[in-house]
Structure 1
Amino acid sequence: MDISRLTDAYLHRIGATRPRHADAAALRELQARHLLSVPFENLSIHLGEDIVLEEEALVRKVAERHRGGFCYELNGAFSALLRGLGFPVVLLQARVLGPEGTVGIPYDHLALLVETEEAGIARRWLTDVGFGDHSLYPLDLDERGDQKDPAGTFRIVETAEGDLEVLRDGTAQYRVGTRPGVLADFRAGAWYHRTSPDSHFTGSLVCSRRTEEGRVTLSGDRLITTAHGGRQERLLEGEKEILAAYRDHFGLRFDRVPEVRQPSVGGV
């Protein structure tokens, strides 16, 4: 993998410059720009595209193909970018928590632990560009008090089992383990989410991106925009309008409209 060239292409995709130092300020800037530029989307599942959990394939998808992805892809690619810029990164497995306390499968979600050091002080950050609507900035992994963010008030609490739960405005989002992982560990989770009828990714189309004012989401033929607390929903008419929405709001250029399809069992 041509790391330097792909790193430059990746930075160009998210509108960022190569940071002089791998510090907390640079990490904040990179995460925010990523979320504002690269959509969270599950379209590969419905376009019949392979989802390859290998660094080069993930980076090329974001940097060269100008696509997004779901958590394994986005955080997998972002971890490669950060390493290329000198940040120490650890992959962490997480399990999404449902509204009634249900817990997702093991390796349900991929999050990142990123380390920075300034003035001899080491800090650890929970970094996540692959959870859809989540914190704009990294969360201090060792802080147990409230952490204010443009997306809400976050808190990280320890569980009796030694895991960490991430709460947003008092509601648990996911439970993250602290054991380091590698991309291959997440293949079973990715396979489940692209093939199982129980996965929320196989039954619907999702394409969503944070904006400066709020969020824009395209789900099938419904375009939903939120800005400054307000919400608007518009039904798009016909293939031409849907393709234009993918292009104009997400930078995605397709020759046909993605449609929900019955998933086929295959490798990841």
Structure 2
Amino acid sequence: MNSAQVDAYLDRIGAEHPAWPTVDVLRELHLRHLRTVPFENLSIHLGEEIVLEEKRLIDKIVRERRGGFCYELNGAFGALLRALGFDVTLLAARVYGKDGRLGVPYDHLVLRARTVDGGDWLADVGFGAHSHYPLAIGERGEQADPAGVFRVVEAGADPAGVRGGGASAEFGDLDVLYGGTPQYRLEMRPRVLGDFVSGAWWNSTSPVSHFVRSLVCSRVTEDGGRITLSGSRLTVTAPDGRKEAADLASDAEVLEVYRERFGIELDRVPTVRKADRHG
């Protein structure tokens, strides 16, 4: 990234250019990103190509003022952090399904960020409802966050942190837990953006991928809650977890919510094809 791109990205998320890549700066950038850049899969349902190249990702998020899913959001955010002096490594993860099984390889892209004042952090602005702040990779106890309680444990450990059980694991892999439930398995080997092409292709084309079968556009709100538009259903979640949902009556209302609540300008409403929805 050049200096103009960095300045434009920082302006996109409402942040000042930091003096040093410290943990406090990382925390601020992480939260601002979640508040301003939506987690969304609209490209899949608008027929837009998803290209895992740094310039294309930055153009989409900064110039086009769109969001994306994990490969796009964490790919672009990693480029920004690296340009600001953070030591950033791309890591692959496999997401746990509701049945406790792990998803396909390269199912998720996560960032490992190191700061000048010490610390090794798991930064993830591309998992939808997740931690508002980076998680300490080396910490094995509970990590309190505005979104809830998280833990990073050795892969295959039970929620109490005791090794054993769970899906098969490689040495050094980690499980990220939210409220005691495993969210994804993190592989600690360094990756490059091109490694994730197969995972992005599968998640954006497979009829069994939940990204193909549904629509989502979501971001953290300024009060620490969340706002989500799924098709024509708008859900506002308060910081205490209370939800208010409403069904929008027309395409015009849907487009207005995309514009006013997410900053996304669309000329048509994305829709999930029936064949995609039902398989």
1:243 aligns with 2:242: no
Instruction: Report the Cα distance in structure 2 between the residues aligned to 1:203 and 1:133, rounded to whole angstroms.
Output: 18
- Give the aligned CA root-mean-square deviation in angstroms: 1.1
- Structure 2 counterparts to residues 217-232 of structure 1, below 5 A: 217-228=228-239, 229-232=241-244
Of the three residues 156, 167, 173, the one matched with 2:183 is 173
User: SS where residue 201 of structure 1 aligns?
Assistant: helix
> Partner of 1:110 in structure 2?
109
Distance in 1 between the 2:116 and 2:79 partners? 19
Contact 1:6 1:60 in 2 (8 A): no
Deviation at 1:28? 0.2
- Tell me the residue number matched to 2:218: 208
Counterpart-to-counterpart distance in 1, 2:148 and 2:230: 24
Matched residue count = 259
State the 4+ residue runs in structure 1 displaced beyond 6 angstroms: none
Are 2:83 and 1:74 aligned?
A: no
Which residue does 1:266 correspond to in 2?
A: none
Shift in Å, 1:167: 0.4
- Partner Cα distance (2:201, 2:170) in 1: 27
**How far apart, in 1, do the equivalents of 2:89 and 2:2 lie?**
19
SS in 2 for 1:248: helix
2:128 matches 1:132: yes
| Residue 13 (structure 2) aligns with | 14
| Alpha-carbon shift at residue 168 of structure 1 (Å) | 0.8
Residue by residue over 1:205-262, the C-alpha shift from the partner in whole angstroms, topping out at 9 and shown as x without a partner, is 1101111231000011100111132101101011111100101110001111111146
Secondary structure, aligned partner of 2:57:
helix
Percent identity between matched residues is 59
Q: Distance in 1 between matches of 2:43 and 2:98?
A: 27
Write the distance in 2 (CA, Å) between the matches of 1:126 and 1:211: 21
Q: How does 1:46-125 map to 2 (within 5 A)?
A: 46-118=45-117, 122-125=118-121
Unaligned runs of at least 5 residues, structure 2: 156-168
- TM-score, scaled to structure 2: 0.91
After TM superposition, the score normalised by the length of structure 1 is: 0.94
Q: 1:233 is matched with which residue?
A: 245
Quick one: distance in 1 between partners of 2:3 and 2:221? 28
1:93-120 CA-to-partner distances (Å, cap 9, x unmatched) read: 00001232110001000000000122xx
Task: Tell me if the contact between 2:20 and 2:116 (Cα under 8 Å) persists in the aligned partners.
Answer: no
Q: Is the 8 A contact 2:92 2:106 kept in 1?
A: yes
